[in-house]
Structure 1
Amino acid sequence: MPADQIHLVRHGEVFNPQGVLYGRLPGYGLSSLGRQMAQAAADDLRARGRTIAALYSSPLQRTQQSAEPISAAFGLEPVLEERVIEPTNRFEGKRMTGSGGALRDVRNWPLLVNPWEPSWGEPFGSIADRMLQAMADAADAAESGDVIFVSHQLPIWMAHRRVTGRRLSHDPRRRRCALSSITTFERRDGRFVEVGYRDPAAPLAVAATDVGAV
């Protein structure tokens, strides 16, 4: 039988003193606070008392590190899953706002011509498709119990909007997907339904200096 629930966990805070949009760039791991956030997510999942059948992680450093306390809590080896990776973004390595920010540079304005696609990176529809397919395949592969994915804000938000029937284009400042948050789905009658959202790292987030790229 398929998995009971699918939990999409966002990674914790990244050490990013330059304040750049890091995207898929290597070398961006968790800060010490981010590790505490990841532990908070693992503790929340453990406290639910549910059987976990499988653990998947985006291959990026920050998600693999965020998967470590979950792996320890459930004795599961994370499987790297390319389909839940951060989307491509042509602003990688740049600071977006403030003095000298990429958004103030007129040379970058052609990249902003279509925020509904978006024109600066992977199309929203592509992100949603790969996320839902990864979730479906993992659900089918599990004999019983739940499945956990450790992923990124935008892929998780695209899964949320696709499942809830909302338009994929959106204001990135209004995403409900906090650091180390957990968005939970079940599959009913062949389709996914969102059944929960928790933010176990909220008390820690007040001290965060990097809340993720927009």
Structure 2
Amino acid sequence: MRLLLIRHGETFSNLRRLLDTALPGAALTPLGLRQAAALPAALAGEDVDALYVSTLVRTQQTAAPLAAARGLEPLVRGGLRELSAGDLELRGDDAAAELYMRTAFAWSAGDTGLRMPGGENGVEALARLDAVMAEAAGSGAGTVAMVSHGAAIRMWTAARAENVDVPFAAAHPLDNTAVVVLEGTPEEGWKALSWMGAPIGGPVRADHRADSPAGRPVTPPPVGPPPVSPPPGAAGLD
């Protein structure tokens, strides 16, 4: 099975750098809606047979243009929701972001018993994500697109893809509407083919971000002060 893991478009919580993981979650910004509208063209070369989304509103908004363009009914699955922030929910400070991602990548590295403060542990998080992957693989679909969340995609891929490790996933945050492409099955394992348009294990083109609708904004963002840079590994986490 070919698996397209797509991070949702930009949200209002993203602008404030908040750990927004609870239902229903923030909606897409105007730029996020334009990013979502660009997905059908960005994925024009993919024969998508099934489309899955999480229970958070931002993934459903992101998937809507693709669903309309392909005549697909999005399948809503709670297993694709963002990693629960627990006691860190709606915090936007560097310490919270660092603890959140450190815990997530500990799960990828095998410390699945570790629990997010007030939230889920790695066994629970991986089990729910694995269940959706298994459902999709069992459906017989050749190519499946799943609109999920930055930390969930990075954590699961680092844990399950044979050629993506924690240092790589930690060093490569996902832009909004960026795509990670994998091939495989739950039984045979998974191999990542590309990360935000850059081939895994191959040369990285200087312009690879153009392959993602989020790589270059569809229209210029509003003029304003430059965004505050997040701590290493914290960007693209919800």
TM-score by length of structure 2 reads 0.69
The change in CA–CA distance for 1:191 and 1:165 in structure 2 (over 3 A counts) is closer
In 2, Cα distance between equivalents of 1:147 and 1:170: 27
What's the counterpart of residue 55 of structure 2? 59
1:153 aligns with 2:166: no
Give the 5 Å matches for 1:1-214: 4-16=1-13, 18-46=16-44, 48=45, 50-89=46-85, 90-97=87-94, 103=95, 115=103, 116=106, 117-120=114-117, 121-142=119-140, 144-165=141-162, 174-187=171-184, 190-197=188-195, 198=197, 199=209, 200=212, 201-204=214-217, 207=221, 212-213=236-237
Moved more, 6-15 or 198-207: 198-207
> Partner of 1:195: helix, strand, or coil?
strand
Q: How far apart are residue 167 of structure 1 and its match? A: 9.3
Provide runs of 4+ in structure 1 moved above 4 Å: 165-173, 205-214
What is the TM-score when the length of structure 1 is the normalising length?
0.76
Q: Report the CA distance between 1:124 and its aligned residue.
A: 3.4
Q: Percent identity?
A: 27
Shift of 1:129: 3.1
Gaps of 5+ in 2: 107-113, 198-208, 229-234
Structure 1: give runs of 5+ residues left out of the alignment: 98-102, 105-110
Length, aligned pairs only: 196
2: CA distance between counterparts of 1:195 and 1:172?
Answer: 14
Helix, strand or coil for the counterpart of 1:202? coil
- Flag the structure with more relative contact order, 1 or 2, with Cα contacts below 8 A and sequence separation at least 6: 1
State the alpha-carbon separation in 2 of the partners of residues 125 and 168 from structure 1. Answer: 18
